[in-house]
């Protein structure tokens, strides 16, 4: 089955700097890659996703890049703010709409004021 590895497990950045979280996946047939943000005491919330027919997607300060050849994808957060502090999870699934998402192990991002 699919295996998703996520790095780093913890990340601290100064407010205003950029943060990058990286994930690799094992199944070359995977073609849907969402990112979820989990704030303390809450359930995860989708922040951005990308399908394999697209190499990059941006939404304001958040961007995701996908390299299908290397089987890795990354989350980029620019101009970080204190409210970006949370745990971020990447995930992968075989098809868009496929119910079986495989999640990475999470990255705890701390923004230092």
Partner 1 sequence: NAGVTQTPKFQVLKTGQSMTLQCAQDMNHEYMSWYRQDPGMGLRLIHYSVGAGITDQGEVPNGYNVSRSTTEDFPLRLLSAAPSQTSVYFCASKLTSGGTNEQFFGPGTRLTVL
Contact positions vs partner 1 (CB under 8 A) = 1, 4, 6, 9, 32, 34, 36, 41-46, 49, 89, 96-97, 99-106
Q: How far is the CB of 20 from partner 1 (least distance, A)?
A: 19
Q: How far is the CB of 53 from partner 1 (least distance, A)?
A: 14
Residue in 73, 79, 78 with CA at minimum distance from that of residue 51: 73
The residue among 4 and 66 lying less far from partner 1, judged by its C-beta, is 4
Per the CB < 8 A criterion, the answer to whether 111 and 85 are in contact is: yes
Q: How far is the CB of 55 from partner 1 (least distance, A)?
A: 19
Question: Over the range 82-99, which residues count as b (16 or more CB within 10 Å of their CB) and which as e?
Answer: eebbbbbbbbbbbeeeee
């Amino acid at each position: 089955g699919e295996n998703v590895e996520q790095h780093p497990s913890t990340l601290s950045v100064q407010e205003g700097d950029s943060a990058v979280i990286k994930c690799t996946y094992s199944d070359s047939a995977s073609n849907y890659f969402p990112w979820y943000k989990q704030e303390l005491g809450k359930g995860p919330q989708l922040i951005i996703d990308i399908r394999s027919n697209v190499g990059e997607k941006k939404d304001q300060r958040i961007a995701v890049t996908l390299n299908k050849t290397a089987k890795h994808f990354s989350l980029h957060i620019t101009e970080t703010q204190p409210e970006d502090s949370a745990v971020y999870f990447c995930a992968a699934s075989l098809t868009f709409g496929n119910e079986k998402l495989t999640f990475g192990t999470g990255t705890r991002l701390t923004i230092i004021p």
